[in-house]
Structure 1
Amino acid sequence: MLTTIDPTSDRPAYKQIADAIRAAVGSGELAPGAKIPSESELIRSFGVAQGTVRNALNVLRAEGLIIAEHGKGVFVRARPPMQRKASNRFLRAHRDAGKAAYTVDAEAQGIKHDVEVSKVGPDVAPDEIAERLSVPIGSTVLVRSRRYLHSGTPMEIATSYIPWSIADGTQMTEQYPGPGGIYARIEETGHRLGKFTEDVTARMPLPDEARALHLAAGTPVMRVLRTAYDTDGTPVEVCDTVMTADLFVLSYELPAD
């Protein structure tokens, strides 16, 4: 890693240090998960004051490039290779095999995964969700909220909304919905799934999202708003997912004809 400060540059010393660390990450010299040199090492290498080094690290931390682990040091933020294949994850064959979409993604890449369910029960649908479900504003829906983890790292939080007329009296109202997840249970009610639509947007996280996903300052999220329809075109579920943006690749296969 280049450790030279140009005193004639218009860029302050702390920005030059940040540039050098960014370059080392971009070149692969500092790989995802690698430990950044300590403050004392950076002070010696660049010949600057402690405050200058701390300013540089604060800039990189705000960008989400590095993350501090108490008692261990500062590391390049790890980016597990999590690929989310939209063309594969909702196939009926997976539901028939008792696998939910999230399990399909994780198992395909050999990633240890876990799900934490935080809420299951009836509630009033948010207006945006009611419109997508084509139910009256103020309608009661089943709400299922959960957090997904890969190897212990929070990756995404998701909330599903299902019309109460479909969910009432089914295993969907229980914490564990059974093999194949809620889509398998929806089909058991007679609503054979016909298609899914997804709207993907990017933004900065809300405070509760940042806490749930353990996000460093400056880390953006992707919001994936998915609607499931049965073969009659009736919306049967809306899933509102917030994902750590730098931990996912969203892959889509689109027909040419």
Structure 2
Amino acid sequence: MAGPEILARQIDQASDRAVFRQIADHLREAILNGRLRAGDKLPSEAQLMEHYNVARMTVRQAIQELKAEGHVESQHGRGVFVRSRPPVKRLASDRFARRHRKEGKAAFLAESEAVGARADVDMIRVSEVPAPADVAERLKIQTGEIVVSRSRRYLLDGRPVELATSYIPVDLARGTRIMDDNPGPGGIYERLEEQGHQLERFVEDVYTRMPTREEARLLSLGDGTPVFRLIRTAYDVEGRAVEVCDTIMRGDAYQLSYELPAH
């Protein structure tokens, strides 16, 4: 456990910044400059109270601010620790390049290899469901029309980072490996191209928000960690939407990275 000696500064009584925010500033600085590393235990409430000569509530307000920012997390009966973070994955503009599929790699596997992380998938469920309204709009079908749903959870080095549900028109999925838990090398996009639906483009809409209670549970999110919601529509060369993928991704595990032409 780190002691209060990591906090070189004291409260500035002349500052108009609230005392609990000053304490949070000091702890945050210690985390960002590496004096407190991932997995380190913060000084106890009693140590911080003595170091800063403040009340317990003031210390708790400071800790709560760091929790809300996603820097620390409480472990029941053990204390407050600096959060460990999974490897950052770049959502690059070429992650669905055909060369990855021809190598037998779906996008998640290709991205994970790029950061030296082990990729896993669990909680796979394939079923036929009525199309939600926003999915139906993108697929150009009627709301409630039956589609094939493929839901799964992705993990990096054993840590859950992403929840994804793909929706595929039934005429493209029934009777194919797209209905299998494991659709084979290259994933469902390779299976679609084998049917003659060569992919031409993808359209992505990206939002940020706080997770639902269920999303936080499935992704093991601490307080204050937002998520990306990314909705991707895949189009074939004929202009048909052949898949919509609705993905929830933990915000501390991804970096958006796109290369755009200047013409």
- What TM-score do the two structures reach when normalised by structure 2? 0.90
Q: Quote the residue 1:192 is aligned against.
A: 198
What code does the residue aligned with 1:51 have?
M
1:255 counterpart = 2:261: yes
1:220 counterpart = 2:238: no
1:69 counterpart = 2:75: yes
**Equivalent residues of 1:3, 1:45 under 8 A apart:** no
Q: Quote the residue 1:38 is aligned against.
A: 44
Match of 2:129 among 123, 137, 148: 123
Name the stretch that deviates more: 242-251 or 77-86.
77-86
In the alignment, the residues of structure 1 paired with residue 233 and residue 244 of structure 2 have an alpha-carbon distance, to the nearest angstrom, of 4
Q: Quote the residue 2:216 is aligned against.
A: 210
**Equivalent residues of 1:3, 1:46 under 8 A apart:** no
**Equivalent residues of 2:87, 2:156 under 8 A apart:** no
In the alignment, the residues of structure 2 paired with residue 190 and residue 213 of structure 1 have an alpha-carbon distance, to the nearest angstrom, of 36
Post-superposition offset of 1:163: 0.6
Percent identity over the alignment? 52
Deviation per residue, 1:104-151 (Å, 9 max, x gap): 000111112211134211101101000101112211111111111111
What code does the residue aligned with 1:63 have?
E
Which SS does the other structure have where 1:95 is aligned?
helix
Post-superposition offset of 1:41: 2.9
Which SS does the other structure have where 1:111 is aligned?
coil
What code does the residue aligned with 2:133 have?
D
What code does the residue aligned with 2:130 have?
V
Match of 2:180 among 174, 179, 190: 174
**Equivalent residues of 2:86, 2:159 under 8 A apart:** no
Which SS does the other structure have where 1:130 is aligned?
helix
In the alignment, the residues of structure 2 paired with residue 162 and residue 130 of structure 1 have an alpha-carbon distance, to the nearest angstrom, of 10
In the alignment, the residues of structure 1 paired with residue 151 and residue 111 of structure 2 have an alpha-carbon distance, to the nearest angstrom, of 19
In the alignment, the residues of structure 2 paired with residue 85 and residue 200 of structure 1 have an alpha-carbon distance, to the nearest angstrom, of 11
Which SS does the other structure have where 1:211 is aligned?
helix
Post-superposition offset of 1:5: 2.3
Q: Quote the residue 1:137 is aligned against.
A: 143
- What TM-score do the two structures reach when normalised by structure 1? 0.92
**Equivalent residues of 1:196, 1:226 under 8 A apart:** yes
In the alignment, the residues of structure 1 paired with residue 176 and residue 124 of structure 2 have an alpha-carbon distance, to the nearest angstrom, of 19
Q: Quote the residue 2:110 is aligned against.
A: 104
In structure 2, the CA distance between the partners of 1:86 and 1:233, relative to structure 1 (3 Å rule), is farther
Post-superposition offset of 1:71: 5.3
Post-superposition offset of 1:31: 4.0
Match of 2:246 among 222, 240, 244: 240
In the alignment, the residues of structure 2 paired with residue 146 and residue 40 of structure 1 have an alpha-carbon distance, to the nearest angstrom, of 44
In the alignment, the residues of structure 2 paired with residue 69 and residue 176 of structure 1 have an alpha-carbon distance, to the nearest angstrom, of 36
1:91 counterpart = 2:97: yes
Post-superposition offset of 1:73: 3.8
Q: Quote the residue 1:21 is aligned against.
A: 27
Equivalenced residues, count? 257
In the alignment, the residues of structure 1 paired with residue 107 and residue 122 of structure 2 have an alpha-carbon distance, to the nearest angstrom, of 15
What code does the residue aligned with 2:212 have?
L
Which SS does the other structure have where 1:246 is aligned?
coil
In the alignment, the residues of structure 1 paired with residue 118 and residue 39 of structure 2 have an alpha-carbon distance, to the nearest angstrom, of 18
Name the stretch that deviates more: 30-39 or 222-231.
30-39
Name the stretch that deviates more: 33-42 or 140-149.
33-42
Post-superposition offset of 1:18: 1.2
1:230 counterpart = 2:236: yes
Post-superposition offset of 1:33: 4.4
**Equivalent residues of 1:118, 1:147 under 8 A apart:** yes
Stretches of structure 1 that go unaligned for 5 or more consecutive residues are none
The CA RMSD over aligned residues, in Å, is 1.9
Q: Quote the residue 2:119 is aligned against.
A: 113
Match of 2:162 among 156, 166, 169: 156
Which SS does the other structure have where 2:48 is aligned?
helix
**Equivalent residues of 2:91, 2:254 under 8 A apart:** no
Post-superposition offset of 1:8: 4.6
In the alignment, the residues of structure 2 paired with residue 70 and residue 106 of structure 1 have an alpha-carbon distance, to the nearest angstrom, of 32
Name the stretch that deviates more: 195-204 or 73-82.
73-82
